[in-house]
A and B are shown apart, each in its own frame.
Chain A
Amino acid sequence: MNVTAWRDASYPEPGLFRAAVLALLVHIIFFAFMVFGLSWKNNPPERMVVDLWSDLPQPIKPAPVRETPPRPEPVQQTPAKVKSEPVKETLSKPKSVKADVPSPPQKSVTEIKEKTVKPQPAKEVTKQPEPVKETPPKPEPVKADVPSPPQKPAIEIKEKTVKPQPAKEATKQPEPVKETPPKPESVKADAPSPPQKPATEIKEKTVKPQPTKEATKQPEPVKEAPPKPEPIKEKIAKLEAAKETTKKTDLEKEKQLKEQQQAEEIKQQQRREQEKEKQLKEQQQAEEIKQQQRREQEAIAQKAAAEKTKQMDEIAKYKAMIQAKIRSRIVMPPNLPGNPVVEYRVTLLPGGEVLNVVLRRTSGYPAFDEAVERAIFLSTPLPIPPDSTLFREFRDFNLTVHYRESF
């Protein structure tokens, strides 16, 4: 039994602990591989952005496009400024006439909006100077309109002079008229069109002196206002009848009226002269704008011409480079008689790689044709100008190769 006892005894196995450590090590390596392997793949691939161009961009065109848009903008901005000014004046100064004068821009705004329909195409077209040319003729009708407004105020002033209070207002009218020129000028500087309409508005508003305070903001009361001066006239008639007893006073008043009329006529003439001057200034400004535009156009044309010449030089240079590169790759078939010429139409990708080659004119020797075609494909990528605008010339181009160098 002793024998069996020691026979059954299990002998210690070597390297139990070492085996366990190694097994763990293997698994650690395995899981490390899994973790890092998966995390490596977890990195998202860099995204490629591909722009598809139906046509290559033209860097020359955008320059005028940027220059033109700012011009129409001030036209829209200036009325807004003019609007804010009259509001301040109406609040601070009770003078109706002054309120009237700034008011025209308000209507002019609506008119400008209507007319802006024409300048808008100018924004869109940007290159077409024609709309700009159309605007200058508009100030001309201003001449016809401008003289008329002073005439009507003159009639009104006559009626108003009968009453002392309106007369005060009437006397104050000429002053604002003098003030008016600077404001329209600012408008004219930006947009010649607005002055036309302020003139017509002045006509309408000058008819009624009292309602003008309201009229500045509301054009409708202006129409209702005319009945009011009529009762005033009736009252004036009554007053005159009462005052007929004192004819001397009437004569004096008539004299005063005449003097006032004369003074007003002088003022009106001054106004006309001022308006004419304004018109002349407007015309001059319009002409200056035209001249500036012409100069800019000429400058652009000169730049474009210069660029074209540069482009032509570049194109010639790169064509020569392409020729040289292809020629260096041609394995010329030996002993061809004469100087055969082969012409290929080569289509390139933007990178300069050859997309397609079409035989346009054979040299008559298929060996030579094939040699050239092989050389074209061998010489990819062809030297291509880095400028994308110039590349258009190389998108499709004809390549003529002569058999002998000297041609």
Chain B
Amino acid sequence: MNTTVTQDLSFFHLVSSASLPVQLVMLLLLIASLLSWWFIFRKMFAIRLAIKQSDEFENTFWRGVDLNALYHRAAGARDMAGSMERIFEAGFREFTKHQAGMDIGAMMDSTRGAMRAAYQREMDRLESHLSFLATVGSVSPYVGLFGTVWGIMNSFRELSNLTQATIANVAPGIAEALIATAMGLFAAIPAVIAYNRYASDTSQLATRYESFMEELSNVLQRRAAKL
């Protein structure tokens, strides 16, 4: 910590003159912030794409397209398929496997099971990294606070060596310590906002998928009854 009376209170000087724990805290927070922001943008793109694909698939599905054609298109371009498309694909594949004179009840159970498995995978994929955002959002303020407390502790400890204590002796230490808090808040605030936003988005998607699964199982059951 610098105790010089003439302080260069520029940001980089404050960071570079901070004590090692504070610097480590700041580094940790920087990484956390970078990662959280990376996930925020990734989730933003992913969820936006999932919603768009779901809308498109629901449109094509309810327009009365042939299910076999839909299945083949979904199986052919699996990489381009959306979550809902993959759920349909999984369910329809399971349905077609059991067509030869089987019990409808058992057939529908296995189909629902396949769809639920696909749904779980998709939800897991959508909800991935959301826990990280939640962690960053809840923990990084405390981490930043830890850095701040440590820095202020040090600056006050150095103050004890001085006979004449002025605010100028403490100010730089507190300033550099508060940078840790600022960074923690900078990481936490968007992470919390993003987490809440994406959690609600994924839950909306989940309800959409579940309702689609129920509707698809009904459609398949009617189709099995016809056969």
Q: Which residues of A contact B (CB under 8 A)?
A: 3, 6-7, 10-16, 18-20, 22-24, 26-27, 30-31, 34-35, 38-39, 41-42
Contacts and interface: CB of A to CB of B under 8 A. Distances in A.
7 closest cross-chain pairs (CB), A and B: A19-B41, A23-B37, A15-B45, A19-B42, A23-B38, A35-B11, A22-B41
B216 interface: no
Nearest to B42: A19
Kindly name the residue among B9, B38, B93, B182 whose own CB sees the greatest number of chain A CB atoms within 10 A.
B38
Q: Place the interface of chain B in its size category.
A: 20 to 34
B121 interface: yes
A97 to B, nearest CB: 71
Contacts of A31: 11
A27 B12 CA distance: 15
Given A7-B121, A11-B125, A26-B37, A19 B45 contact: yes
A6 B78 contact: yes
Contact of A42 (B9, B33, B46): B9
Contacts of B30: 27
B49 interface: yes
Contact of A35 (B10, B41, B125): B10
B79 A12 contact: yes
Contacts of A10: 125
B45 A18 contact: yes
A143 B30 CA distance: 100
A33 to B, nearest CB: 10
Interface string B24-57: 0000001001110111111011100100000000
A245 to B, nearest CB: 102
Contacts of A26: 37
Contacts of A42: 8-10
Contacts of B121: 7
B111 to A, nearest CB: 14
Interface in B70-85: 78-79
B8 to A, nearest CB: 8
Nearest to B182: A34
Given A7-B90, A20-B38, A38 B182 contact: no
Nearest to B175: A38
B10 A23 contact: no
Given A23-B35, A35-B12, 20 more contacts: A7-B117, A7-B121, A11-B125, A13-B42, A13-B45, A14-B45, A14-B46, A15-B46, A19-B39, A22-B37, A23-B40, A27-B37, A30-B186, A34-B179, A35-B11, A38-B9, A38-B10, A38-B14, A39-B10, A42-B8
A39 B7 CA distance: 12
Contacts of A18: 41, 45
Interface string B4-20: 00001111101000000
B182 A15 contact: no
Nearest to B9: A42
B213 interface: no
A7 B42 contact: no
